[in-house]
Amino acid sequence: MRILSKRLVHGLALSLLLCASAHADQLDTIKKKGDLVCGVLGTDEPNSFVDPKTRTIIGYEVDLCKAIAKKIGVKPTIKQLAVAARIPELQQGRVDILAAALTHTREREAVIDFSLTTFVTGQRVMVRKDGGITQLSQLAGKKVVTVRGGTQEPNIRRAVPTVEVVTFETAPQALVALQQRKAVGFVNDEVSLLDAYGKLGPAQKDFVLLDQSISTEALALGLRKNEPALKKSVDDTLRELEQSGEAERLFMFWYGPQSRLKYDKRHFRIESDKLPT
Amino acid sequence: MSIDLSIVLSGEFGQWLLRGFLLSIELTLVTLVLAFPLATVVALLRLSPWKALRGIGFAYVEGIRNVPLLAHLMFWYFGATQLLPEAARTWLYEHDAETICAIVALTLYTAAFMAEDVRSGIRSIPGTQLEAARALGIGYLRSMRLVVLPQAVRIIVPPLISQTLSLWKNTSIATVIGTAELMYQAQRVETATFRGVETFAVTTVAYLAVSCVITLIGVFYQRRYPVRAA
């Protein structure tokens, strides 16, 4: 080990130095390459989803990403990611920012930075009406499904410690499992659940959302750690969107009365990048 | 970023990985026990003197072997379960549907490959042996059981061991239908700890270790029971 170590350490140190100098400032790199790669889910209407007409990915988070790219003066590139792949892809530099229904959590603060909060949603549980479940506590010992790699699984386990959880790559797969009675409940962000509920059509009568939330999630854009220039650029863009009323307009466009989600007003403002203590 | 294996090996996270590892082993063993007899039946169908039976065996092997395992898993979990009668479906969903569907898909898939190994092993025994047995008045199945199969076993086992190795690795694909095997638990640990390097290093070593054991069993078998010249 000792014989190995000297050369190995030198080699590693050298390569680390090279890496460090290679991405000295991410904002400069983005400007140089001319595009901002945004990691989105693409399966999470209305945050990011495939427009059936144009076959491109559109949505609230996609619009935020486009606004940021415009501010930096580069073109946006939308890249679709699995929920569980979000943070690794960001850390490994395959995407520049995450706009992927990413919950701002203290645990994640240790590995990535967050922009100003861009959305606030609760997480809730959708159940089948004939399952006879009307409260969270009745989920004890029962099986629920959700998407893998998000905050949904830890949150439902915290809310109902004895619940059994099965996870899938995407939220729509988990919804199918609920529809097929493979589980009694489907856990997800409230907005995603409302959207899924809207899509059920006539089958809506068989499903209901439990009233209690299992958590309140502050969603934000994810950034690589210690990239102050890029973070400032992102946060400034978001602040401008808020001040100009564009943020309100975007929310109403994707979530307002004309949309499937039918929110009558916005219950949050884009202003802080701190979690409430 | 320092590497610290103890984070993913100790406490709760270690428990998750261990549980996943044990389920992967269980999937492999149960599938093996179910797939081998099925493979033998299919191989015998393909070698049968009757054309219709040969056709069934052929259709099974080609139909299953030429479709990716991922598609099999999705079909058995999201598709076939919907075709079950109400009572069977309710029973399945009250039990561990994710594991049961994974075992069904893996068994059918593995059996198709094993059937071909069994068939080629049997075919390597000169046909004259079967003819001699039949000439002595022994029936087809009894001739197979008493004369051909005991000789064929030495030829069949080594490729079956390598199919077992494939099976062990294939269990990882069951993660897509929510079967809580090693890959599933590894992703869970990675999400909870943000320790991708450590998590997948441990997972890799676990897969590799079992693979090496299977390979060693193969080597041992071939030394201990070499193929005899006919």
Mean pLDDT, chain A, rounded, equals 91
| pLDDT of B7 above 50 | yes
For residue A262, which of A188, A179, A190 has the smallest C-alpha distance? A190
Polymer length of chain A: 277
Query: What DSSP string describes B16-73?
Result: HHHHHHHHHHHHHHHHHHHHHHHHHHHHHHHH-SSHHHHHHHHHHHHHHHTS-HHHHH
Alpha-carbon dihedral angle through residues A60, A66, A70, A75, given to the nearest 10 degrees: 180
Mean pLDDT, chain B, rounded, equals 94
**Residues A210-234: pLDDT tens digits?**
999 999 999 999 999 999 999 999 9
A150 CA: distance to closest CA in chain B (Å): 8
Q: How many CB pairs under 8 A join A and B?
A: 43
Contact: B178, A180; criterion CB under 8 Å: no
- Residues of B with Cβ-Cβ distance to A150 under 8 angstroms: 191
Question: Which helix (H) or strand (E) is B86 found in, with range?
Answer: helix B86-94
Contact: A145, B178; criterion CB under 8 Å: yes
Question: Which helix (H) or strand (E) is A107 found in, with range?
Answer: helix A106-109
Contact: B191, A84; criterion CB under 8 Å: yes
| pLDDT of A131 above 90 | no
Polymer length of chain B: 230
**Residues B21-62: pLDDT tens digits?**
999 999 999 999 999 999 999 999 999 989 999 999 999 999
Residue the block writes with tokens 């991410």: A26
**For strand A207-209 and strand A112-128, is the pairing parallel, antiparallel, or unpaired?**
antiparallel
Q: Which residue of A has its CA nearest to B99?
A: A166
Q: Is the pTM of this model over 0.90?
A: no
Q: d(Cα A55, Cα A78) in Å, to the nearest integer?
A: 13
Q: Are B23 and B181 in contact (CB under 8 A)?
A: yes
CA A55 to chain centre: 21
| pLDDT of A10 above 70 | no
Q: d(Cα A136, Cα A163) in Å, to the nearest integer?
A: 10
Q: What is the ipTM of this complex?
A: 0.85
Q: d(Cα A250, Cα B8) in Å, to the nearest integer?
A: 42
User: Residues 6 or more apart from A36 whose CB is under 8 A from it?
Assistant: A30, A65, A68, A69, A72, A74, A75, A76, A77, A96, A97
B30 CA: distance to closest CA in chain A (Å): 22
Q: d(Cα A32, Cα A53) in Å, to the nearest integer?
A: 33
Tell me which residues of chain B have a C-beta less than 8 Å from any C-beta of chain A: 78, 81-82, 89-90, 93, 97-98, 176-178, 180, 184, 187-188, 190-192, 194, 196
Q: Which residue of A has its CA nearest to B195?
A: A88
**Residues A52-86: pLDDT tens digits?**
999 999 999 999 999 999 999 999 999 999 999 99
Contact: B188, A87; criterion CB under 8 Å: no
Residues 135-164 of A with CB under 8 A from B: 145, 148-150, 153-154
**Residues B175-228: pLDDT tens digits?**
999 999 999 999 999 999 988 899 999 999 999 999 999 999 999 999 999 887
For residue A213, which of A127, A155, A168 has the smallest C-alpha distance? A155
